[in-house]
Structure 1
Amino acid sequence: MDASLVEEVFPPQVRARMEQTAEVWPAGVLEDFDSPDAVDALRTAEVLVTGWGCPPLDAAVLGRAPRLRAVLHAAGTVKTFLSPGVFERGIAVSSAAEANAVPVAEFTLAAIVLGAKRALPLARLYGRRRTQRTAADLARPAWMGAHGLTVGLVGASRTGRRVAELLRTLDVEVLFYDPYTAEADIQALGARQVDLDTLVATSDVVSVHAPATAETRHLIDAHRLELMRPGTLVVNTARGSLVDTEALTAHLVSGRLDAVLDVTDPEPLPPDHPLWDLPNVWLTPHLAGALGNESARLGALVVDELERFAAGEPLRHPVLWPDWDRTA
């Protein structure tokens, strides 16, 4: 992994737990798999602990790691570096995506509350005019505030489910669209399952939480943006490719919709893109996921998995090959 992140992800108390469970390679952190140190380490390694910045774990690397039995990833997706050969070898894989979902869900809840309050455009007006202003200054809000809203969540992912749990603190109705999740599971979250067109047409807030796959590219497309009612707030803390940026831009420039976008497609947007300057758009630099002191959750989850693996117990957060095509 990127060596600069190690102390955040594995602070002393988490690192100490790891060293109680495993013999940790003493020479530091590998940032590639081709150096003499890496070749030496791989020769005897039974477990790889990986993170952001991990280089490809391909057939050539696996060939130099004959004893490897587990890859424990201290971040979200493993698709950026893991080859199918890992699963063909029967190597166990785990991800800290569950831990990363916590700050993403918290950020999403904040985005929904602040976006529903039209806080960003009003703050910009306030800063420009330096006098007290009210919602009337916006001239066009279809609604304002979270009370009584319908919030539509696209994807019952780890983050989507946690957002639904957090939304129980608000007086809102929650809708879900997820073709892979049973109605009973959605109801257990205090929500109602609907088709995607119904969700976007009846929600005051549409928040996107699906994985980025070929199937979900532009899931929120021009047609579904047209179905949204004036004043709808679009929140994307998942992946930029889930939303058709060009189609969304037209609705945001006209003022018909509002948006909080932690991710875009492309990312970042070109410097001259109109979304940078729109008062009804809040762009943030892909910061919803674990950062700073939040990162220790990732390391703690990985050490939990390491302890289970060492004890011969099943991993609690496995990444499974049958789910590969529909997971983040």
Structure 2
Amino acid sequence: MHPTTDNRPRLLLAMGPGIAERLLTDAHRERLAALTRTDPHLVAHDLAAPDPRAAAALAEAELLLTCWGASPLTPEVLARAPRLAAVVHAAGSVKHHITDACWTRGIRVTSAAAANALPVAEYTLAAILFAGKRVLRSAQQYAELRTDQAWLDASTAWGNYRRTVGIIGASRIGRRVIELLRPFDFEVLLYDPYVTSAPPGVELVPLDELCARSTVVSVHAPQLPSTHHMLGPAQLAAMPDGTTLINTARGSLVDEEALLGHLTKGRLHAVLDVTDPELPSPESPLWTLPNVLLTPHVAGSLGNELHRMADQAIEEVARYGRGEAFADEIRAADLTRSA
């Protein structure tokens, strides 16, 4: 009798140190071992100079399963991976490691960006609802005063009933935020230059109009040359007094100097999960302004939410093994207008 041929694709894990331990559970590793020919405990941290075991695995690999900290797939790296046909990225953006050489060679690419969008949208929903209720400032004042106050009298401009929320960018995250807002009594505006018709119940408007009409503005556009400081002095000045700006995208999309002018005067409020630079200087007013909630880039997947990205990535590995199309394939043209 002839031995049974093992047609499972060979796979190599490639990501930064310590990432695989957070990303993959034992069950994930067992499933990878069942779906592919792989050592689910072998992780290549540096494909440009891999250790001998990783180098041998790379030479045979048909699939790479990548995540944060993955090495750029340069022509030199790809020359060491002659059989590589696809990259499954268990995170969001692939711009850090997918190079032009990958597209030239016809390597297929998919990512778990859809899974990573969910916690960002959930963070945004919480920020929108808390902004309308002025939770940050009222909690601060409550702690400062520690006495009974006429909160009902002080809150005449608060509340979430028929408040106008402006969403900048119909990205995966932006679209998910819009879905999450449906059960609430909000008027939702959308700005996205690539969108020609808005989802039901959403009004598509120019950026300046969105800023002028919204009392909460949430940023979900990609970081591109065309989006650098897209919220500049004119857009920020157009926002009504008391507007809350939420940024979970990238700090460079907002002119931070112009924003600080409005924040230090108390005219605007902000919920910032990203800044420019990513870590503000120790002297930045963002650390101490009472109308600013500053978080350390935690809106995206963290903790057990990484396992959702692993689930999606491994499903894509399974589709590849069955000869099916990826559910969320990325093409080179997509990266000109996405994160």
Matched, 1:254 2:254: no
Of 230, 239, 255, the residue aligned with 1:219 is 230
Within-5 A mapping of 1:256-275: 256-275=267-286
Q: For 1:60-87, what per-residue CA distance to the aligned partner results, in whole angstroms no more than 9, with x for missing partners?
A: 1001000000001011111112211101
Tell me by how many angstroms 1:169 deviates.
2.1
In 1, Cα distance between equivalents of 2:92 and 2:305: 13
Q: What percentage of aligned pairs have identical amino acids?
A: 49
Tell me by how many angstroms 1:210 deviates.
0.4
Answer whether contact 2:32 2:40 (CA < 8 A) is retained.
no
Residue 116 of structure 1 is matched in structure 2 by: 132
Residue 64 of structure 1 is matched in structure 2 by: 80
Q: 1:230 to 1:46 in 2, by over 3 A?
A: same
Aligned residues: 323
In 1, Cα distance between equivalents of 2:232 and 2:24: 40
Residue 195 of structure 2 is matched in structure 1 by: 181
In 1, Cα distance between equivalents of 2:141 and 2:299: 25
Counterpart of 2:210, as a letter, is L
3-state SS in 1 of match to 2:64? strand
Of 73, 77, 81, the residue aligned with 2:97 is 81
Answer whether contact 1:205 1:232 (CA < 8 A) is retained.
yes
Of 282, 292, 299, the residue aligned with 2:310 is 299
Answer whether contact 2:166 2:216 (CA < 8 A) is retained.
yes
Counterpart of 2:58, as a letter, is L
Tell me by how many angstroms 1:126 deviates.
1.6
Q: 1:55 to 1:31 in 2, by over 3 A?
A: same
In 2, Cα distance between equivalents of 1:306 and 1:106: 27
Q: 1:215 to 1:142 in 2, by over 3 A?
A: farther
Q: 1:134 to 1:74 in 2, by over 3 A?
A: farther
Q: 1:16 to 1:230 in 2, by over 3 A?
A: same
Answer whether contact 1:142 1:231 (CA < 8 A) is retained.
no
Structure 2: runs of 5 or more not aligned: 1-14
In 2, Cα distance between equivalents of 1:282 and 1:137: 24
Residue 105 of structure 1 is matched in structure 2 by: 121
Residue 278 of structure 1 is matched in structure 2 by: 289
In 2, Cα distance between equivalents of 1:94 and 1:223: 38
Matched, 1:145 2:156: no
Counterpart of 2:157, as a letter, is W
In 1, Cα distance between equivalents of 2:118 and 2:139: 27
Residue 46 of structure 1 is matched in structure 2 by: 62
3-state SS in 1 of match to 2:237? helix
Answer whether contact 1:235 1:260 (CA < 8 A) is retained.
yes
Structure 1: runs of 5 or more not aligned: none
3-state SS in 2 of match to 1:8? helix
Answer whether contact 1:21 1:307 (CA < 8 A) is retained.
yes
> Aligned-residue CA RMSD in angstroms?
1.6
Residue 22 of structure 2 is matched in structure 1 by: 8
What's the TM-score, normalizing by structure 2? Answer: 0.92
Of 152, 157, 177, the residue aligned with 1:163 is 177
Residue 25 of structure 1 is matched in structure 2 by: 39
Tell me by how many angstroms 1:58 deviates.
0.8
Residue 313 of structure 1 is matched in structure 2 by: 324
